[in-house]
Amino acid sequence: MTVKAVITDWGGVLTSPLNDAIATWLAADRIDTDQYRTVMRAWVRQAYDGEGTNPIHGLEDGTLDPAEFERLLAAELLTVDGGPVVAEGLIARMFTAFTPVQPMYDALRTLRGGGTRTALLSNSWGNDYPRDLFADLFDAVVISCEVGLRKPDAAIFQHAVRLLGLTAADCVFIDDIEHNVAAAEALGMRGILHTGPAETLDALRGLGLSV
Protein backbone atom coordinates (compact mmCIF):
# COMPACT_ATOMS: atom_id res chain seq x y z
CA MET A 1 0.00 0.00 0.00
CA THR A 2 1.10 3.56 -0.65
CA VAL A 3 2.45 5.37 2.37
CA LYS A 4 0.54 8.61 2.84
CA ALA A 5 1.97 9.79 6.16
CA VAL A 6 5.02 9.53 8.40
CA ILE A 7 4.46 9.87 12.14
CA THR A 8 7.58 10.30 14.24
CA ASP A 9 8.71 10.44 17.82
CA TRP A 10 10.84 13.40 18.92
CA GLY A 11 13.38 12.55 21.64
CA GLY A 12 15.95 10.09 20.35
CA VAL A 13 14.71 10.35 16.75
CA LEU A 14 14.74 14.04 15.88
CA THR A 15 17.28 14.61 18.64
CA SER A 16 20.57 13.03 19.57
CA PRO A 17 20.21 9.78 21.58
CA LEU A 18 18.54 9.98 24.97
CA ASN A 19 21.26 7.89 26.60
CA ASP A 20 23.90 10.40 25.52
CA ALA A 21 21.95 13.30 27.04
CA ILE A 22 21.38 11.39 30.27
CA ALA A 23 25.08 10.50 30.53
CA THR A 24 26.01 14.16 30.14
CA TRP A 25 23.54 15.18 32.85
CA LEU A 26 24.65 12.47 35.28
CA ALA A 27 28.26 13.56 34.91
CA ALA A 28 27.48 17.28 35.21
CA ASP A 29 25.36 16.80 38.35
CA ARG A 30 27.76 14.17 39.71
CA ILE A 31 24.92 11.73 40.25
CA ASP A 32 25.52 8.12 41.31
CA THR A 33 24.99 6.39 37.98
CA ASP A 34 24.21 2.94 39.38
CA GLN A 35 21.52 4.35 41.65
CA TYR A 36 19.95 6.28 38.77
CA ARG A 37 19.86 3.19 36.56
CA THR A 38 18.30 1.08 39.31
CA VAL A 39 15.53 3.61 39.87
CA MET A 40 14.81 4.25 36.21
CA ARG A 41 14.83 0.59 35.21
CA ALA A 42 12.09 -0.06 37.75
CA TRP A 43 10.06 3.01 36.77
CA VAL A 44 10.33 2.33 33.03
CA ARG A 45 9.38 -1.33 33.48
CA GLN A 46 6.30 -0.31 35.46
CA ALA A 47 5.38 2.35 32.89
CA TYR A 48 5.49 -0.08 29.96
CA ASP A 49 4.43 -3.38 31.52
CA GLY A 50 1.01 -2.23 32.70
CA GLU A 51 1.74 -2.47 36.41
CA GLY A 52 -0.39 0.55 37.26
CA THR A 53 0.67 4.17 37.34
CA ASN A 54 4.07 5.45 38.34
CA PRO A 55 5.94 8.77 38.03
CA ILE A 56 6.90 8.25 34.37
CA HIS A 57 3.35 7.27 33.45
CA GLY A 58 1.95 10.32 35.25
CA LEU A 59 4.53 12.69 33.77
CA GLU A 60 3.81 11.47 30.25
CA ASP A 61 0.02 11.58 30.41
CA GLY A 62 -0.08 14.90 32.27
CA THR A 63 -1.50 13.65 35.57
CA LEU A 64 1.75 14.39 37.43
CA ASP A 65 3.14 17.91 37.52
CA PRO A 66 6.72 18.04 36.19
CA ALA A 67 7.89 19.76 39.39
CA GLU A 68 6.51 16.85 41.42
CA PHE A 69 8.27 14.37 39.13
CA GLU A 70 11.50 16.25 39.71
CA ARG A 71 10.95 16.05 43.46
CA LEU A 72 10.17 12.33 43.37
CA LEU A 73 13.16 11.47 41.19
CA ALA A 74 15.61 13.66 43.10
CA ALA A 75 14.50 11.99 46.34
CA GLU A 76 15.56 8.61 44.91
CA LEU A 77 19.00 9.78 43.81
CA LEU A 78 22.30 10.64 45.42
CA THR A 79 25.44 12.34 44.24
CA VAL A 80 28.66 10.35 44.02
CA ASP A 81 29.53 11.82 47.43
CA GLY A 82 26.25 10.60 48.94
CA GLY A 83 24.70 14.06 48.96
CA PRO A 84 21.22 15.15 47.81
CA VAL A 85 20.32 15.92 44.20
CA VAL A 86 18.73 19.29 43.46
CA ALA A 87 15.15 18.78 42.30
CA GLU A 88 14.37 22.18 40.84
CA GLY A 89 15.24 22.31 37.16
CA LEU A 90 16.14 18.62 37.04
CA ILE A 91 14.20 17.91 33.84
CA ALA A 92 15.80 20.81 31.99
CA ARG A 93 19.23 19.58 33.09
CA MET A 94 18.42 16.04 31.96
CA PHE A 95 17.74 17.18 28.40
CA THR A 96 20.15 20.08 28.04
CA ALA A 97 22.47 17.98 25.84
CA PHE A 98 19.74 17.13 23.31
CA THR A 99 20.78 18.37 19.87
CA PRO A 100 18.73 18.26 16.66
CA VAL A 101 19.49 15.56 14.09
CA GLN A 102 19.52 17.56 10.89
CA PRO A 103 19.14 14.64 8.43
CA MET A 104 15.85 13.72 10.08
CA TYR A 105 14.58 17.29 9.95
CA ASP A 106 15.61 17.51 6.29
CA ALA A 107 13.81 14.25 5.55
CA LEU A 108 10.57 15.48 7.10
CA ARG A 109 10.68 18.67 5.05
CA THR A 110 11.37 16.67 1.89
CA LEU A 111 8.53 14.27 2.62
CA ARG A 112 6.08 17.04 3.34
CA GLY A 113 7.18 19.01 0.30
CA GLY A 114 6.51 15.93 -1.82
CA GLY A 115 2.96 15.53 -0.54
CA THR A 116 3.45 13.01 2.27
CA ARG A 117 1.72 14.10 5.45
CA THR A 118 3.80 14.28 8.62
CA ALA A 119 3.02 14.22 12.32
CA LEU A 120 4.82 14.39 15.65
CA LEU A 121 3.77 11.88 18.32
CA SER A 122 5.80 12.39 21.47
CA ASN A 123 5.66 11.28 25.10
CA SER A 124 6.54 14.47 26.93
CA TRP A 125 8.75 14.54 30.00
CA GLY A 126 7.97 18.14 30.72
CA ASN A 127 10.80 19.17 28.44
CA ASP A 128 10.86 22.04 25.96
CA TYR A 129 10.16 21.42 22.28
CA PRO A 130 11.32 23.56 19.33
CA ARG A 131 7.75 24.63 18.68
CA ASP A 132 8.81 27.43 16.38
CA LEU A 133 9.75 24.73 13.84
CA PHE A 134 6.52 22.75 14.03
CA ALA A 135 4.51 24.66 11.41
CA ASP A 136 7.21 23.94 8.84
CA LEU A 137 7.60 20.28 9.79
CA PHE A 138 4.24 18.79 10.72
CA ASP A 139 0.62 18.58 9.63
CA ALA A 140 -0.33 17.40 13.13
CA VAL A 141 1.34 17.52 16.56
CA VAL A 142 0.39 15.18 19.41
CA ILE A 143 2.20 15.62 22.72
CA SER A 144 1.18 13.15 25.40
CA CYS A 145 0.66 15.46 28.35
CA GLU A 146 -1.48 17.78 26.23
CA VAL A 147 -3.95 15.07 25.18
CA GLY A 148 -3.98 13.01 28.39
CA LEU A 149 -2.70 9.90 26.60
CA ARG A 150 0.69 8.27 26.20
CA LYS A 151 2.44 5.75 24.01
CA PRO A 152 2.08 2.79 23.83
CA ASP A 153 -1.69 3.25 24.44
CA ALA A 154 -3.62 2.58 21.24
CA ALA A 155 -5.75 5.68 21.72
CA ILE A 156 -2.89 8.13 21.22
CA PHE A 157 -1.92 6.54 17.90
CA GLN A 158 -5.56 6.58 16.79
CA HIS A 159 -5.78 10.25 17.75
CA ALA A 160 -2.76 11.12 15.60
CA VAL A 161 -4.14 9.20 12.64
CA ARG A 162 -7.51 10.96 12.94
CA LEU A 163 -5.80 14.36 12.95
CA LEU A 164 -4.14 13.42 9.66
CA GLY A 165 -7.47 12.33 8.20
CA LEU A 166 -6.07 8.91 7.31
CA THR A 167 -6.17 5.28 8.40
CA ALA A 168 -3.48 3.43 10.34
CA ALA A 169 -2.62 1.44 7.22
CA ASP A 170 -1.72 4.69 5.45
CA CYS A 171 0.94 5.54 8.02
CA VAL A 172 4.52 4.76 8.97
CA PHE A 173 5.54 5.25 12.59
CA ILE A 174 9.12 5.92 13.74
CA ASP A 175 10.24 5.54 17.36
CA ASP A 176 13.38 4.53 19.24
CA ILE A 177 11.41 2.43 21.78
CA GLU A 178 10.41 -1.06 20.67
CA HIS A 179 7.23 -1.13 22.80
CA ASN A 180 5.91 1.91 20.95
CA VAL A 181 6.74 0.56 17.50
CA ALA A 182 5.02 -2.73 18.33
CA ALA A 183 1.91 -0.86 19.51
CA ALA A 184 1.73 1.07 16.24
CA GLU A 185 2.16 -2.10 14.20
CA ALA A 186 -0.64 -3.79 16.17
CA LEU A 187 -2.97 -1.07 14.85
CA GLY A 188 -1.92 -1.67 11.26
CA MET A 189 0.83 0.92 10.82
CA ARG A 190 4.20 0.07 9.43
CA GLY A 191 6.80 0.56 12.12
CA ILE A 192 10.43 1.63 12.00
CA LEU A 193 12.56 1.11 15.10
CA HIS A 194 14.96 4.03 14.97
CA THR A 195 18.59 3.18 15.68
CA GLY A 196 20.12 6.01 13.69
CA PRO A 197 19.23 8.43 10.90
CA ALA A 198 20.94 6.48 8.13
CA GLU A 199 19.07 3.29 8.98
CA THR A 200 15.72 5.06 9.31
CA LEU A 201 16.11 6.92 6.02
CA ASP A 202 17.00 3.64 4.29
CA ALA A 203 13.86 2.06 5.77
CA LEU A 204 11.73 4.95 4.49
CA ARG A 205 13.22 4.57 1.03
CA GLY A 206 12.45 0.87 1.21
CA LEU A 207 8.80 1.83 1.63
CA GLY A 208 8.93 3.86 -1.57
CA LEU A 209 9.40 7.29 0.01
CA SER A 210 11.82 9.88 -1.34
CA VAL A 211 13.97 11.35 1.44
112-161 pLDDT tens trace: 999 999 999 999 999 899 999 999 999 999 999 999 999 999 999 999 99
Are 144 and 201 within one domain?
Answer: yes
In this predicted structure, the answer to whether residue 111 has a pLDDT above a threshold of 80 is: yes
pTM metric for this prediction: 0.94
How many domains is the chain partitioned into structurally?
2
Domain identity same for 63 and 103: no
Residues 108 and 83 placed together within one structural domain of the fold: no
Q: Do 117 and 191 have their domain in common?
A: yes
Does 211 reside within a domain?
Answer: no
End position of a domain, from candidates 73, 94, 115: 94
Query: What is the DSSP code string of 25-56?
Result: HHHHTTB-HHHHHHHHHHHHHHHHHT-S--HH
Domain that residue 143 falls in: 5-16+98-206
Last residue of a domain, one of 94, 109, 131: 94
Cα separation, 167 vs 176, in Å, equals 22
**Residues 36 and 132 both lie in one domain:** no
Give the residue from 94, 120, 142 where a domain finishes: 94
- 115 in a domain, yes or no? yes
